[in-house]
Structure 1
Amino acid sequence: MDIVKFQQELIDYSKTIGIDKIGFASASPFDELKSRLLRQQELGYQSGFEPKDIEKRTNPELLLPGAKSIIAIALAYPAKLKDAPRSTRSERRGMFARASWGEDYHHILRDRLQKLESFILEKLPDAKLQSMVDTGELSDRAVAERAGIGWSGKNCAIITPEFGSYVYLGEMITNIPFAPDTPIEDQCGSCRACLDACPTGALVQGGQLNAQRCVSFLTQTKDFLPDEFRTKIGNRLYGCDSCQTACPKNKGIDFHFHEEMEPHPEVVKPLLKPILSISNRDFKETYGALSGSWRGKKPIQRNAIIALAHFKDRSAIPELKQVLKEDPRPVLRGTAAWALGKIGDESAIDILKEASLKEKDEQVLDEIEKGLNMLGK
């Protein structure tokens, strides 16, 4: 088969199935990435969500014996919410980050990659293929950078000339020797807008992220949020877009190419108070299709409590009182106690004192004490 001709056929086909950008890279080891990952490990900058085996993360041959090249794909997602509901004093709202708008992107990219696989196998039945999205061993960003999809920005996101950094990434390792594309030259220059915009200083320097301080990571944890980060979360329920919205390359960027990615305004910018008592069934029905639901409702509920404290929403005191008195989960009871103190209403004093007499969990008792201290008691 004429591989050059087939490669062009594959590119043409990709456009017909909703792939916004496709690139090709060699499957040689990612030696520079390996060094960076080892350094991140030494510094304790990893989130803990990453695959553990650094060799497999940086050597495609270990994932697909005989690997010759990697196909990288990118799909642009929306950056602006149409008909966004307003947050009012008595009806405060939270936000899901843009990467959690619409249907879970893992499903969308897997669908596109499966179609590519079928196209390839129809022409080359003996081809070996291994596709992955986000949770696979390979670094989506390292592959996309090598394949000329975009450059790796100081915000640790791939920035494309066409769609900014608002793109989902996926890849396919193959034993077909496709011609590699040329990487795009870094265009960040001396700009440091993302570094300055990061709420927690998680961007240690251009291209280096301390995931343990990243708000996007913190919103996905299930334990008590460390005190220093509670005032940084704002009304974020899942994820953080600060380093993307600050990027000049994203100015004016907003693409609505894919129906599955279109967000439902009431779902991605929901009322906060109802989240505190939402049932498992209702959570699954309302948020289950979002990528932001993967950790379950507990982190979302904890973040909603922190958001109500951020707004100092006195109208939420009855709901917070109920969580403190009745929720079986210490993290939510304790966070509610802290939030009552943060809101600063005197009616919270009696609520917290009453709870302290019945509470048995030491961490929750510590949070009750924090709340009372903030109220001057």
Structure 2
Amino acid sequence: MNIEQLKKEVIEYSKQIGIDKIGFTTADMFEELKQRLVTQQELGYQSGFEESDIEKRVNPIKLLPKASSIISIALAYPSKMKNAPRSTKEDRRGIFCRASWGKDYHDVLRDRLTKLEAFIKEKLPEAQMKSMVDTGELSDRAVAERAGIGWSGKNCSIITPEFGSYVYLGEMITNIPFPPDQPIENQCGSCTKCLDICPTGALVQGGQLDSTKCIAFLTQTKGFLPEQYRTKIGNRIYGCDTCQTICPINKGKDFHFHEEMEPDPEIAKPKLKPLLTISNREFKEKFGHISGSWRGKKPLQRNAILALAHYKDKTALEDLVQVMHKDPRPVIRGTAAWAIGKIGDITMEPELRKALEKEQDDEVKQEIEKGLSFLAEKAGI
């Protein structure tokens, strides 16, 4: 079969099934990426969520022995929420990052890739294919960059000329030798806005991220959040968009092409207080379909407590006291105690002292002590 013609047909079909951009590249080794990953590993900049075997991340033949090319796809997601609810003094709200609005993007992209595989198989029954989204071995960004989807920005996102960096990425390795597309020239120029604004300094330099400092990563951890980052979280429940929203290329970019990506405002910007006591069943029913739920409710509840502290929300004190006294999880009890202190109502001192008397966990005790020291500072003691 004429591979050039098949490529044209694949591109045409991709548009019909709601793929916003498609690119093709070779299955050659990602040599430059290998060096970067080794450096990241040596510096301790990895999050721990990625594939640990670097060879699998950079060598497509390790994943599909007869690999000849890779198809990269991108789907644009919305950057603005219609009818976004406002946070009020009585009902403060948190926020999920844009990549967690709507249906879990892993499911959305897998659906498109499965359809693409079926189309290619129909045209070429002997075709071999292996598709992946985000959690696969390959680096979605490295593939997309080489396939001409966009360039790798200083904020470590793929930036497309059409949709900015508000795109989900996925790829398919295949034994079909599709002619490769040309990469796009990097257009970041001398701009450093994303580096300058990063709340935790996680963007070490253009294109290099210390994942362990990145708020997007920190919001997904399950333990106590390191003290120096707690006041940086703001009202973020999951993820962080700061290095995207500041990007000049993203200005005015807002696409609503896919119904399943549209956010439910009450889920994407949830009220914080109800999150503190939500049951597992309620959590699964309300948040189970979004990508931000993958780590379970505990990290999101911890982040909601930090957000209430950020707002200094005195209307939440009763809820926080209940959580501090009754929640079985040390991280949640301790974070609640810290937040009570941060909110700074000195009438809460007896509650903190009562919690300290009965607390058995040493880490939680330390957090209660911190809460008490905040109140003492407030009282000028």
1:188 corresponds to: 188
Instruction: Report Cα offsets for 1:133-180 as digits up to 9, x if no partner.
Output: 000000000000000000000000000000000000000000000000
Instruction: Report Cα offsets for 1:246-299 as digits up to 9, x if no partner.
Output: 000000000000000000001100100000000000000000000000000000
Distance in 1, matches of 2:105 and 2:280, equals 22
Distance in 2, matches of 1:196 and 1:81, equals 26
Q: Report the alpha carbon displacement of residue 357 of structure 1 after superposing the two structures with TM.
A: 0.7
Instruction: Report Cα offsets for 1:316-357 as digits up to 9, x if no partner.
Output: 000000000000000000000000000000121111011011
2:13 corresponds to: 13
User: Tell me, what secondary structure is at the counterpart of 2:168?
Assistant: strand
Q: Which amino acid aligns with 2:137?
A: E
Q: Which amino acid aligns with 1:27?
A: A
Aligned ranges for residues 6-85 of structure 1 at < 5 Å? 6-85=6-85
Q: Report the alpha carbon displacement of residue 90 of structure 1 after superposing the two structures with TM.
A: 1.0
Distance in 2, matches of 1:344 and 1:155, equals 36
2:345 corresponds to: 345
User: Tell me, what secondary structure is at the counterpart of 2:137?
Assistant: coil
1:100 corresponds to: 100
1:252 corresponds to: 252
Instruction: Report Cα offsets for 1:176-219 as digits up to 9, x if no partner.
Output: 00000000000000000101111000000000000000000000
1:132 corresponds to: 132
2:173 corresponds to: 173
User: Tell me, what secondary structure is at the counterpart of 1:64?
Assistant: coil
Q: Which amino acid aligns with 1:294?
A: W
1:225 corresponds to: 225
2:287 corresponds to: 287
User: Tell me, what secondary structure is at the counterpart of 2:169?
Assistant: strand
Distance in 1, matches of 2:109 and 2:367, equals 42
Aligned ranges for residues 233-272 of structure 1 at < 5 Å? 233-272=233-272
User: Tell me, what secondary structure is at the counterpart of 1:169?
Assistant: strand
Distance in 2, matches of 1:325 and 1:133, equals 41
Distance in 2, matches of 1:163 and 1:57, equals 26
Aligned ranges for residues 195-210 of structure 1 at < 5 Å? 195-210=195-210
Distance in 2, matches of 1:249 and 1:135, equals 27
1:153 corresponds to: 153
2:112 corresponds to: 112
Please give the root-mean-square deviation of Cα atoms over the aligned residues, in Å: 0.5
Question: Normalising by the residue count of structure 1, what TM-score does the alignment of the two structures yield?
Answer: 1.00
Q: Which amino acid aligns with 1:286?
A: K
**Moved runs in structure 1, 4+ residues, more than 2 A?**
none
User: Tell me, what secondary structure is at the counterpart of 2:102?
Assistant: coil
User: Tell me, what secondary structure is at the counterpart of 1:73?
Assistant: strand
Q: Which amino acid aligns with 2:108?
A: I
2:335 corresponds to: 335
Question: Normalising by the residue count of structure 2, what TM-score does the alignment of the two structures yield?
Answer: 0.99
Aligned ranges for residues 348-367 of structure 1 at < 5 Å? 348-367=348-367
Distance in 2, matches of 1:232 and 1:20, equals 34
In the comparison of the two structures, how many residue pairs are matched? 377
Q: Which amino acid aligns with 1:255?
A: F
Distance in 2, matches of 1:171 and 1:190, equals 30
Q: Which amino acid aligns with 2:15?
A: K
